[in-house]
Amino acid sequence: MKKILFVFAFMILLATGALAAGEDEFNYGRQAYINQQYAQALAYYEKATKANPKYFDAWYGKGEVYLAANQNEEALKAFQKAVSIDSKSAKGYAGEASAYVGMKKFDNALICINKSIELDANVHEAYEIRAMIYHEKGNNTAAYADLDKAIELAPTNAAPYGIRALIKMDTGDQKGAYADYKKFKKYTRQAEKEAKKNVMI
Please answer whether residues 161 and 184 qualify as being in contact, where contact means their C-beta atoms are separated by less than 8 angstroms: yes
Q: What is the pLDDT of residue 194?
A: 84
Does residue 50 carry a pLDDT above 90?
yes
In this structure, of 51-65, 145-159, 186-200, the range with the lowest mean pLDDT score is 186-200
Please answer whether residues 65 and 38 qualify as being in contact, where contact means their C-beta atoms are separated by less than 8 angstroms: yes
Q: What is the pLDDT of residue 133?
A: 97
Classify residue 118 by burial, with Cβ atoms within 10 Å: 0-12, 13-18, 19+: exposed
At position 89, the amino acid (one-letter code) is S
Contacts 24+ apart (CB under 8 A), 92-97: 92/56, 92/60, 92/116, 93/119, 94/123, 94/125, 94/126, 94/129, 95/60, 95/63, 95/64, 95/67, 97/129, 97/130, 97/133
Mean pLDDT of 3-13: 41
CA atoms within 13 A of residue 134's CA, in its CB half-sphere: 20
In this structure, of 4-8, 54-58, 109-113, 155-159, the range with the lowest mean pLDDT score is 4-8
Q: What is the pLDDT of residue 68?
A: 95
Sequence-ordered strand ranges (E) for the chain: none
Average pLDDT, the chain: 90
Please answer whether residues 62 and 45 qualify as being in contact, where contact means their C-beta atoms are separated by less than 8 angstroms: yes
* 82 vs 57: CA distance, rounded Å: 7
pLDDT tens figures, 96-116: 999 999 999 999 999 999 999
Distances (CA, A) of 150 to 12, 64, 84, 97, 103: 42, 21, 27, 17, 24
* 200 vs 9: CA distance, rounded Å: 40
